[in-house]
Structure 1
C-alpha cells in the first residue's frame, strides 16, 4: 500500500513541532501543490528508467504512514527490513526508537530520546521534514522551472537543484520539451546557499555545467562513490568577484547512508546509491545544472515569449556580425559589457580593427541553449556552438553569452568561449 499524503501531513506536523524555528526557516518557504505520481520515464525508446533508488525513502514513508495508522507490526517489519538493507541509515534508526516508544504511549515529538545531542536530533528531524515534503507537497510534476527557456539538442538531461526543498530534479529533453523523470534528496552547505567567498560553506546559486568525473579510488571517503565537479565559479561568479572552488556533485561517507540537509562544505551531496543512479543522466561538459533557492514552476509554453525574444536578439546579433557593420553589431552590447579583461571600449576597438580587415564573414550557430539565471529573472545564459568563417580565418568552438534585459530589449553583458 502506498502511503497517503493526508496521513503523512500529520506526521510532518509532528516533525515541525520538534524543530526550532530557525531550522525550518533556513530551508525557505515551500509550495503546497497536490502530490502526483511521476510519469513513466524513458531512458531511450522502449526502455523505462530504473528508479529503484527511491525505495529506501519510500519504505521510510510507509513506516511513518503505518505508525500514524497505529499499525505498529507493519511499521516494525518494514523498518527492520529497511535497516537490514541500509544499516547506516541514521534517520531510520531514530524512527526505530520512536516506534518502540509509540507502542506504550502517544508520541509528542519525533526523536523523543535523551541520549542523542540536540544538534544531531535537529539535523535528523530536518531530514525527515524535507523527505516528507517530497510526498506531501511535491513540486508539480506537470510543470517545469521557469529558468528553462531552451535545451540544446545535445543536452539529453538537465538538473534543477531546489535548495529550499533539498531536492534535485532531473528533466529529460523530449524533442525540446523538458519532462521531469526523476528526483533525489540532497544535502547542501552547512551555512545554506548563495556562496560568495572561499570557505563560507555555502552552496552557490547559478547556472553551471558538469565538467568531469572523479572515480572513488581518487577520492577521500567523505565524497563517497564518485564526484562530478561543477563549473563554479562560472563567468558571472567571477565578474561578481565570488571566490572559492571545488563545488561538486558527490556521494556520502561509508559510515552513513545519507547526510542531513545542511551538512556539506558547499557541495551538493547525495547518497551513494542515488549518486550512481544520477550518474546515468550526466554528460560530461554538456549537462546543465541550475541551482536555485526555489523555482517558479510554469507550463513549458509559458517560457515561449522570452525564448522567442532571445532567439530573435541572437539572430540579429549574428546577422549584424556577418554584415561587418560594426556600429550595428556593437549595439547588441551593454555599456557594462565585459569579456575577460576587456570592457566595452577595448572590445569595440578590437572588433572595429578586425572587421575592417575582412572582405566577408559567415557565422553559423547550433546547439543553442537558453537558461534564465536564478535570482536574476532579467538575465539569460546563452550557450552555443559557433562556426566562424571569413576570407582569411575559419574556426569552430563553443561560446557563452550573458544577455541582460535593458529597457524593452536584450543586451550582451558578458561573452567568452565556453
Structure 2
C-alpha cells in the first residue's frame, strides 16, 4: 500500500519537474544527487521557504520519504500558515496508509483548491530552476533617474516579481525575485471589478498608513492605475495595489486576487525599504524575454536614438521653432485637455512672438511599455522652463512611440 502511494506522489513530482523543463532527470536519484546539491547552493538567494519546498518535492521524486518529511517539517516550522506545504505533508503521511492517485489526494474534497496548489507548486519549481539558465534582465529599454535606485518587473506568466537595482554605468543588477499572485481572471484589466491585473508601466506610491482589512496583509502600496494610456483607452477601475496576504495565509494561488499583485508578508517586508521611498517603477508584463549580448547592443542604440529625439524636441522648443517643435508629435497625440489640433493651436499662439526662453531637462527616466502594439517608452523628467515672464519647474511625463523608424510623442503631461 505504501509503495503504491509513494509511486503516485513520485509520479506527480516527476511530471512537475519535467513539465517545467528543469533538467534531464531519469528514474534514479544516484546520478543527480551532486547536481541537485549544486543547484541548491547556486540558488542561495532564494528565500528559505521556497528552497525547502523544492527540496521536499525533489526528495519525493527521488523516493526519499523520510528526507521529504524532514524538509516539509522544517518548512512548516518556518511558515506554519503555508497551505501548500500542509497539503504535501498530508500526502506524505497518507501515502503510508493508503493509495494516492494524485497530488492532494489526502485532501481531495475541494478539487479546485487542489488544482490551485498544483499550479503554485509547478510555477515555484519552474522559477526556482530558471535561475540556472543565465537569466540577466528583461530585454527592455530601461534607464533609472538619479532619484530612482530600483525597478520592479512583474512577469504575470511566471507569477514572479523581479527586483533590480541601478549599478555602475546605469547597468541593472539583479537583486532578488519573489512569487506573486495576480488577478483571478488573468491579465489585461479593462473594467471595474473584472478581477484582472493591468499590463503596463506603473509607479508605486508609499505604504498606505490607514487601517486595512486583514486581506491586504502587512502592507499595501498603491499603483497609479489607470495610467495615462489606460485612461485614454477608457479602461476603468482603481485600487490596484502591491500588498501582502492575510495573517493565516502564507501565499495564495497564482490567480486569486481581484487584480492586485500579492506577495507573502515576509516578501513584502523584504521589499519595504525599496517601496517606501515612493515613486518606485513597476513594469507589469507577460513572458518577458531576457536580454542577450546582441539585444543589449540593440537596446543601447535604441536608447541613444530616443535620447537624441528628446534633445531635438527640447532644442526646437527652446528655439521657438514651432513647425519643427510640432513635428515631434504623432497625429494621434493626446493630452489632458484635447488632441494634437488643440495642442498645436495653443503652441502656435504662445510662440507667435518667439519669446526668448530656455528649457532644461534633468532626472530623466525611461521604461519600455510592455506588450504594446508598437514600440513605446515612458519618459519622465524634471523640466525647468524660463522666460521673461515665467519660471516653471515641474515633473513631466511623455509617452514616445516609434513611427516609421522615428521617435514621436504620443502623450505629454505632468507626472
Verify same fold: TM over 0.5: yes
- SS for the counterpart of 1:279 is helix
- The separation in 1 between residues aligned to 2:175 and 2:17, in whole angstroms, is 29
Describe the shift of the 1:288–1:37 C-alpha distance in structure 2 as closer, same or farther (beyond 3 A): farther
> What does residue 20 of structure 1 align with?
none
Shift, 1:14, TM fit: 3.0
Question: 1:245 and 1:33, CA in 2 relative to 1: closer, same or farther beyond 3 A?
Answer: farther
Unaligned runs of 5+ residues in structure 1 are 1-8, 18-23, 25-29, 41-49
Contact kept? 2:22, 2:126, Cα under 8 Å? no
CA distance in 1, matches of 2:40, 2:328: 42
1:193 to 158, 173, 187: 187
- Structure 2: 5+ residue runs without aligned partners? 1-9, 25-35
2:328 is matched with which residue?
332
Residue 75 (structure 1) aligned to one of 68, 77, 95: 68
Query: Where does residue 229 of structure 1 map in the other structure?
Result: 222
Pair 1:116–1:301, CA change in 2 (3 A): farther
Q: Is the Cα contact below 8 Å between 1:380 and 1:402 reproduced in 2? A: yes
Match of 1:385 in 2: 382
Matched, 1:14 2:10: no
1:60 pairs with one of 23, 48, 53: 53
Question: Aligned partners of 1:245 and 1:139: how far apart in 2?
Answer: 38
1:205 is aligned to 199
Quote how far apart the aligned CAs of 1:238 are.
Answer: 0.4
The yes-or-no answer on 1:180 pairing with 2:177 is: no
190-199 vs 71-80, which moves further: 71-80
Report SS of the residue matched to 1:184.
Answer: strand
Task: Provide the aligned length of Structure 1 versus Structure 2.
Answer: 390
User: What's 2:115 paired with?
Assistant: 122
- Please identify the structure whose Cα radius of gyration is greater: 2
**Could you say what secondary structure the match of 2:375 adopts?**
strand
Q: 2:357: which partner in 1?
A: 361
Among residues 313, 316, 321, which one is paired with 2:312 in the alignment?
316
1:410 maps to which residue? 407
Structure 2 residue aligned with 1:156: 149
Preserved contact between residue 337 and residue 413 of structure 1 (Cα < 8 Å): yes
Identify the match of residue 346 of structure 2 among 337, 343, 350.
Answer: 350
Aligned equivalent of 1:273, options 258, 266, 272: 266
Aligned-residue Cα RMSD (Å) equals 2.9
> Does the 8 Å contact 1:372/1:381 carry over to 2?
yes
Partner SS state of residue 359, structure 1 = coil
Distance verdict in 2 for CA 1:33–1:399, change over 3 Å: farther
Say which of 179, 193, 208 aligns to 1:214.
208
Greater Cα shift, 401-410 or 260-269: 401-410
User: 1: CA distance between counterparts of 2:39 and 2:63?
Assistant: 26
- Contact 2:243/2:260 (8 A) holds in 1: yes
Q: Deviations over 1:194-237 (max 9, x none)?
A: 1011000000000000122114x611000000100001000000
Alignment match, 2:140:
147
- Work out whether residues 33 and 139 of structure 1, in 8 Å CA contact, stay in contact via their aligned partners in 2: no
SS at match of 1:318: helix
Q: Whole-Å Cα distance in 2 between the matches of residues 101 and 370 of structure 1?
A: 54
Using a 3 Å threshold, how does the CA distance of structure 1 residues 308 and 97 change in structure 2: closer, same or farther?
A: same
